[in-house]
Structure 1
Amino acid sequence: MDTSFEVIAEKRDDQGKGASRRLRRAGRVPGIIYGGSGESAPISVLAHVLNKHLENEAFYSHILTVQLDGKRERVVLRDLQRHPSHPTILHFDLQRVSEDQAIHVRVPLHFLNEETAPGVKQSGGLVSRQLNEVEVSCLPKDLPEAIEVDLGALEMNESIHLSDLKLPAGVTLVELSYGEEHDQPVVAIHAPRVAAETDDEAEADEEEEAE
Structure 2
Amino acid sequence: MDLTQQPLADRGARRNRSAHLARVILREPFRAGTWRRTAYVLLALPVGLLCVPLALVGGPAGRIQRGLARRLLHLHLGEPPRTGPVALAHAVISSPLNLMAAVTSGYFWTIVVINFGFPLRSDGEPSHSWGGPTMAGAWAVHAGAGGATFLFLTPWVVKGFTALQARLVTGFLGTDRTGLLRNTGIALGVAAVCAVLSAPIIHQL
- The alignment's TM-score, normalised by the length of structure 1, stands at 0.20
> Highest Rg: 1 or 2?
1
Structure richer in strand, relative to its length: 1
- The alignment's TM-score, normalised by the length of structure 2, stands at 0.21
Instruction: Determine which structure has greater relative contact order: mean sequence separation of CA pairs < 8 Å that are 6+ residues apart, divided by chain length.
Output: 2
Structure richer in helix, relative to its length: 2
